[in-house]
């Protein structure tokens, strides 16, 4: 087809491939992004609802204790995977770009052995050191049994990361997405049953029920992924490949990521351990400090990061795409994708931040029945733009083989955070923790954007990409609130009414953006884009055959193809 329908609904960042004639590639990217995006949104929504249920069962103190345990678990999973996900993705993508099925199979064997070694090693370390970690690091003996349960899942988490990297690299994300849905179903089912039995025995047993359900789900997810991979493996040819030093290539990618990840995760763990300690020094009791930590880290942050699920799905798929562009030396394509990805990210994240800022109190009451949660949602809402943008930039840096730089920025971020938490929380309490989050997120985003700018030379407009969307979303949100007041609706704490207001605000925001795009279209030559869509959703005119004249021939950047 000359004008595939998906090109009229896909932002510019995802249709670069159609401009150089590869419509099939762009269509595959779009479909995979939609599948992964829908899956991620569904999983984030299910996780959010599940967390609300757990919060109601075990309370804010239990959520705080669970957060401390998971901070150690994140360090353990970092050691277990040791950069295997990205390393597997890069190796498989590079072999696939050379149409080398035998190389793909060999690379996967090396990656699976790598993850098995580190996964078992991490499990043994956590199992044998669970008691000293619980008693001396976490300063709470109730965490020891939970750490024993977590150690059982580490080998399976590690090997699952390699298989997930494989499915993303070969653009069969529906299989990894189905594994995530299967894992969530098992986790919710087992945890619900376990909580009904053990929740009445205290916070320790409630946390064990939640963690045990998660561990069983991880093991089941590995079995599911392994079956899918074995069926996929049969399609790969078994021809012998000349030695390409797969182990050396794997270690060259994975070990720098692993070492930097160890430092990053260690600092993050220390950061989370210092928060309750700092709150105690401020004057809060042990129970109150865990509760305050649980509100910010266990309630507010998951809610703020929920909309990023859709954006993160497409940004994750940019990693293999940018890797292939870099492999063939397409610098123009890399620069254009980076620019358009950031423009789309700013439009999306600014809209989400505006909604969180205006409807913060209602969201806190409707979701968590907590006024404190609503207060922190409003404080942290402007940071949504920074956090979403930083996630997309990190994905692009990984695709451009700058993952070591990205991890270095994360290490700096965590080190600064540890120092600030140690010095500020005893003086300012939980407000100091919010200040630390602001400072470190801004620092990380600045360093990452600066690195991406040097690598790709992207271009953004302060007015068009930042100020105008901010004014539009605030205007839309306050207009909806004013409209509700005219109908004598003073409270939006009802879940369905609040959802309707949020959807109406988002519709107004997108609608005004499209209207502005339609007005701007009349200022551009006919044929450059359809007047019914804003610039960030414009369809791209197909290349004209070489040698043919047209009254309004589209202008192509240097390096684009023209097919006869």
Q: Which of 69-78, 276-285, 497-506, 535-544 has the lowest mean pLDDT?
A: 535-544
3-state class of 252 per DSSP? helix
What does the pLDDT look like over 205-257, one tens digit per residue?
A: 888 899 999 999 999 999 999 998 888 776 665 555 555 577 788 888 788 87
Tell me the percentage of the chain whose pLDDT exceeds 90: 20
Question: Is the residue at 404 inside a domain?
Answer: no
What does the pLDDT look like over 457-507, one tens digit per residue?
A: 777 788 888 899 999 999 999 998 888 777 756 555 666 788 888 999 999
Question: How many helices and strands (H and E) does the chain possess?
Answer: 22, 0
Quick one: pLDDT at residue 436? 92
Distance CA 388, CA 390 (A): 5
User: Is the pLDDT confidence value at 324 over 90?
Assistant: no
91 Cβ contact list (under 8 Å, min separation 6): 107, 110, 111, 246, 249, 250, 253
Quick one: pLDDT at residue 442? 94
Reported pTM:
0.68
How open is the CA angle 44-353-534, to the nearest 5 degrees? 95
CB 480 within 8 A of CB 504: yes
Question: Is the residue at 179 inside a domain?
Answer: yes
What is the residue-wise DSSP string for 93-116?
HHHHHTT-HHHHHHHHHHHHHHHH
- Give 175's pLDDT tier (boundaries 50, 70, 90): confident
Quick one: pLDDT at residue 23? 56
CB 47 within 8 A of CB 213: no
Distance CA 415, CA 65 (A): 23
3-state class of 560 per DSSP? coil
**How many domains, in total, are found in the chain?**
1
Question: Is the residue at 480 inside a domain?
Answer: no
What does the pLDDT look like over 102-133, one tens digit per residue?
A: 677 788 888 899 999 999 999 999 999 999 98
Question: Is the residue at 469 inside a domain?
Answer: no
CB 151 within 8 A of CB 130: yes
CB 53 within 8 A of CB 213: no
Question: Is the residue at 464 inside a domain?
Answer: no
Question: Is the residue at 160 inside a domain?
Answer: yes
Question: Is the residue at 563 inside a domain?
Answer: no
Quick one: pLDDT at residue 230? 86
Q: Which residue has the higher pLDDT, 269 or 219?
A: 219
Question: Is the residue at 7 inside a domain?
Answer: no
Range of the domain at 133: 59-265
Give first-to-last CA distance, the chain, whole Å: 16
521's tokens = 């279209």
**Rounded to whole angstroms, what are the CA distances from 490 to 53, 203, 358, 493?**
27, 38, 14, 9
Quick one: pLDDT at residue 238? 56
Rounded mean pLDDT of 190-196? 89
- What is the DSSP-derived secondary structure letter of residue 139? -
């Amino acid at each position: 087809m000359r004008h595939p329908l998906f090109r009229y609904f896909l932002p510019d960042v995802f249709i670069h491939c159609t401009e150089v004639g590869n419509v099939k590639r762009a269509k595959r990217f779009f479909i995979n992004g939609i599948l992964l995006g829908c899956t991620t949104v569904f999983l984030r929504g299910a996780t959010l609802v599940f967390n609300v249920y757990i919060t109601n069962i075990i309370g804010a103190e239990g959520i705080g204790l669970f957060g401390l345990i998971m901070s150690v678990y994140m360090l353990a999973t970092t050691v277990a995977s040791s950069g295997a996900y990205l390393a597997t993705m890069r190796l498989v993508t590079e072999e696939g770009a050379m149409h080398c099925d035998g190389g793909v199979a060999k690379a996967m064997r090396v990656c699976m052995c790598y993850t098995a070694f580190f996964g078992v090693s991490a499990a043994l370390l956590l199992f044998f050191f669970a008691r000293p970690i619980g008693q001396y690091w976490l300063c709470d003996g109730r965490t020891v049994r939970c750490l024993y349960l977590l150690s059982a899942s580490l080998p399976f988490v590690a090997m699952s990361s390699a298989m997930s990297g494989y499915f993303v690299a070969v653009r069969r994300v529906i299989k990894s997405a189905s594994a995530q849905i299967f894992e969530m179903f098992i986790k919710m089912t087992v945890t619900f049953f376990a909580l009904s039995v053990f929740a009445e025995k205290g916070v320790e047993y409630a946390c064990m029920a939640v963690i045990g359900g998660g561990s069983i789900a991880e093991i089941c997810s590995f079995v599911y992924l392994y079956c899918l991979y074995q069926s996929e493996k049969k399609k790969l040819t078994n021809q012998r490949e000349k030695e390409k030093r797969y182990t050396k290539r794997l270690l060259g990618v994975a070990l720098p990521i692993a070492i930097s990840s160890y430092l990053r995760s260690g600092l993050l763990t220390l950061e989370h351990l210092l928060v309750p300690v700092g709150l105690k020094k401020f004057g809060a009791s042990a129970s109150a400090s865990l509760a305050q930590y649980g509100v910010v880290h266990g309630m507010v942050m998951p809610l703020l990061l929920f909309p990023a699920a859709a954006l993160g799905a497409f940004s994750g798929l940019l990693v293999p795409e940018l890797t292939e562009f870099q492999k063939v030396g397409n610098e123009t394509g890399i620069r254009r994708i980076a620019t358009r990805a950031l423009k789309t990210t700013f439009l999306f994240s600014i809209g989400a931040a505006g909604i969180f800022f205006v409807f913060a109190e209602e969201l806190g009451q409707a979701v968590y029945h907590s006024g404190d949660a609503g207060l922190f949602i409003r404080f942290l809402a402007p940071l949504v733009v920074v956090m979403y943008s930083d996630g997309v930039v990190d994905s692009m840096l990984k695709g451009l083989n700058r993952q070591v730089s990205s991890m270095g920025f994360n290490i700096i971020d965590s080190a600064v955070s540890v120092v600030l938490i140690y010095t500020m929380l005893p003086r300012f309490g939980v407000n100091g923790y919010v200040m630390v989050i602001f400072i470190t997120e801004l620092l990380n985003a600045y360093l990452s954007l600066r690195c991406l700018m040097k690598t790709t030379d992207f271009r953004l407009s302060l007015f068009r990409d930042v100020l105008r969307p901010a004014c539009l979303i605030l205007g839309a949100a306050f207009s909806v609130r004013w409209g509700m007041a005219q109908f004598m609706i003073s409270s939006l704490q009802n879940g369905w009414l609040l959802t309707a207001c949020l959807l109406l605000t988002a519709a107004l925001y997108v609608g005004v953006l499209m209207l502005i795009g339609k007005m701007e279209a009349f200022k551009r030559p006919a044929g450059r884009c359809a007047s019914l869509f804003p610039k960030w959703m414009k369809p791209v005119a197909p290349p004209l055959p070489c040698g043919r004249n047209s009254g309004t021939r589209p202008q192509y950047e240097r390096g684009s193809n023209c097919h006869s």
